[in-house]
Structure 1
Amino acid sequence: MTGARRTPGDTLREARRRDSQTKRGKVLAALDAMKDSGTAITFVGVARAAEVSNWLVYRDGVREHIEAAMKGQDKAARRRREGGAGASVASLATDLELLREENKALRQERDGLKRAVQRSLGAALDQEGARSATQRIGDLQAEIHKVKDELAAARAQNTALKRQLADAQEEVIAVREAGRQMFKSINRPT
């Protein structure tokens, strides 16, 4: 790298890309194995054989390979039918039952994954909420300390002002008394 730091998002994207390539490779390998063994190729069958989710086999770049293999099998099956070799009713019933079981398993997998995502998102939201609450508590405690300091300063100022008021009142009383005494001495007959 050129010294640029990778973000967690970059790391996750790279891991997802590698995982996607690996899974696509598994799909193509399973498709080749199914062609070689003569197994009926279906999107669900390929997904199951490759042990990947259904949606991957429908993605661009994968779907085309499966569709081409299915067309090739259809042509071969048509040739066999025209030659007299077709699938029996029992075989078709077995395939239908297998597909039903596969659908049931896929629904259960989907539901399990949905629950896991919900739990994961809930945990992430709880963690973010706890972080926000912790930050808010810290802010409120700092605000409380600030208000307490301001209150102590206001009380000290209040006490000082009361002292000054008392001193000023005593001075006013003394000045009044002195003024009375002065008027009395002036008004006295000599």
Structure 2
Amino acid sequence: MAARTPAEVLAECRRNTSILKRQRVLDTIRLMLDDGEPISFAAVARAANVSTWLVYAEGVREHVQAAIQRQEHTPVTAAAQGRRAGTASLHADLAMAREEIKELRAERDQLRGAIRQQLGHQLDQISNRKLTERIAELTEANRKLEHELAELRPLTDHVQELERDLAATRTSLRQMIKGRASEFSGEGS
């Protein structure tokens, strides 16, 4: 699977959020129709907890308009027939809403985690690339140093040979000086 950019992850998250909000508006319209609540763009937006912009957006606006028209053609007697929600019904709706909120929060947290993980993965890729480049640089520098060392080895061997010759020459010179010193001390007696 190809790594997605943060922009692609964010775009997908926004698409999913938009789909969820649009579905919530449609569900709210159905509930409002069932409960006999007066439907308007502002009332639907408030009940669905979305912006009024969304209820006017293409694909949603048509559903709100259809619901408004449906209510206009519904006889006024329906409201008088006791179609009000009871306390138990309201408590059930509240419990369902709380459960849905809980699920949406869990989904939001899951999406946040996925985005964090994706961004972390991308940061790791960037860091790994830099580390790989640094390793390549160090390997090249090491190769150059080994090549220079190989060129210097004959010189090192030559220096060691000259140091041995110098030590031998010093020893020989000391012996000569001692020999001469004994000759001079023997002549003076």
Instruction: Pick the TM interval, shorter chain.
Output: 0.3 to 0.5
Q: Which has the higher contact order (CA 8 A, sep 6+)?
A: 2
With normalisation by structure 1, the TM-score equals 0.47
